[in-house]
Structure 1
Amino acid sequence: MTEDQSVTEAATLRRIRRWIVIFIVCLVLSGLTAFPLEAETRWLAGLVDGSPIAEHFPAAATWVERVREGVADTNVRYPFLAYGTDWLAFAHLVIAIAFWGPYRDPVRNVWVIRWAMTACAAIIPLALICGPLRGIPLAWRFVDMSFGVIGVIPLLIVLRGIQRVERAEAARRSAQALAA
């Protein structure tokens, strides 16, 4: 391997790891926001109330207020249901930990990236099937689906980088075999 190839491969690995860190941070933030739902929905409702959003999109403002009321009422009457969102938060944090493998050795752990891309794709049918069953407005289902669409972008960048590193490693092994 030439020095230029070594530098390029090292730069590719740095870029891969940078995108993995971004993905991990987003998973952690997404998980942590599942804990304080009542405070967050109260904050969002306060933000929307009296804003141009409420004026131009009254259905969205009504939905936000309904969600705020539902979360608050549920927490008063059935606080144990919030335990489900605690587990959702925990799952995000555990999934973030799974990316430690690809961070350390992207080529060996490429399966985690492919699995995550599959999970991003699976968000779309989940939102389309379960959203109507739970009375979620179509616009909000598109917001939910956007997590899968946006989430797959860094994963595609990582996968392409891993494939570059794999090709470089294969070329290096081939050259070593020919030299032997």
Structure 2
Amino acid sequence: MTPTTAIRRFRIVLGLFIVGLIVSGVTAFPLLPEMKLLAGWLGVGDAVSPAGHDGLTFWILTVKCGLEDMYGQYPWIAYGTDWLAFAHIVIALFFIGPLIKPREARSAIWTGIAACFLVIPLALICGPVRGIPLYWRLIDCSFGVLGSVPLFYCLSLLRDVSPPSEEQR
């Protein structure tokens, strides 16, 4: 592959990764409307309690009802998820430099890969403490694993752009 083709592919893949980070961040703002929509899609939108439900519908209703209670009595707690959304957007900004100058991107890509893999211990350690079901924690872990795939691909494309210097090895 020519260096020009490798850079083009690198920018496309990294650009999609950036968009994914931004979209996942922005979706942390409207949590309650999203949960109401999801409950509606599952046919339990009118339920006022998770009682009598099981599996995924139980969990979706638990989250929806919890958010309704929290927003009703303690709306300031949602400020934490606002910061989560902001953090995703800020993390995406750190990949703008590599998008512009791919040849200097290795350290940012490796940092992104490390962050992806750190999702796994976070989900597996903090999830049980917060009462998150195992299947939900595994979904969270999959985002870390799947997020690393385009970054590893970008790293492999950088080999076609220029060989790593002694410092980068």
TM-score, normalised via structure 1 length: 0.83
Letter in 2 for 1:43: L
Q: Partners in 2 of 1:14 and 1:109 — Cα distance?
A: 14
Aligned residues: 158
Deviates more, 1:102-111 or 1:145-154: 102-111
Map Cα deviations across residues 79-102 of structure 1 (whole Å, 9 max, x no partner). Answer: 001000000000111111111111
Q: How does 1:27-106 map to 2 (within 5 A)?
A: 27-49=21-43, 58-106=54-102
Q: Deviation at 1:60?
A: 1.1
Map Cα deviations across residues 64-111 of structure 1 (whole Å, 9 max, x no partner). Answer: 100000011101111001000000000111111111111011221221
Q: Partners in 2 of 1:106 and 1:125 — Cα distance?
A: 30
Match status 1:129 vs 2:132:
no
Unaligned ranges ≥5, structure 2: 45-52
Map Cα deviations across residues 129-154 of structure 1 (whole Å, 9 max, x no partner). Answer: 00000000000001100100110010
Map Cα deviations across residues 9-68 of structure 1 (whole Å, 9 max, x no partner). Answer: 100000000001000110010011000001001111111126xxxxxx931111110000
How much is the aligned-residue C-alpha RMSD, in angstroms? 1.7
TM-score, normalised via structure 2 length: 0.89
Q: Partners in 2 of 1:141 and 1:49 — Cα distance?
A: 24
Q: Partners in 2 of 1:112 and 1:19 — Cα distance?
A: 14
Q: Partners in 2 of 1:109 and 1:155 — Cα distance?
A: 11
Match status 1:164 vs 2:160:
yes
Instruction: Give the structure with the higher percent helix.
Output: 1
Unaligned ranges ≥5, structure 1: 51-56, 171-180
The list of structure 1 runs, each at least 4 consecutive aligned residues, that deviate by more than 4 angstroms after superposition, is none
Q: Deviation at 1:163?
A: 2.2
- Sequence identity (%): 46
Which of 125, 143, 149 matches 2:145?
149
Match status 1:13 vs 2:7:
yes
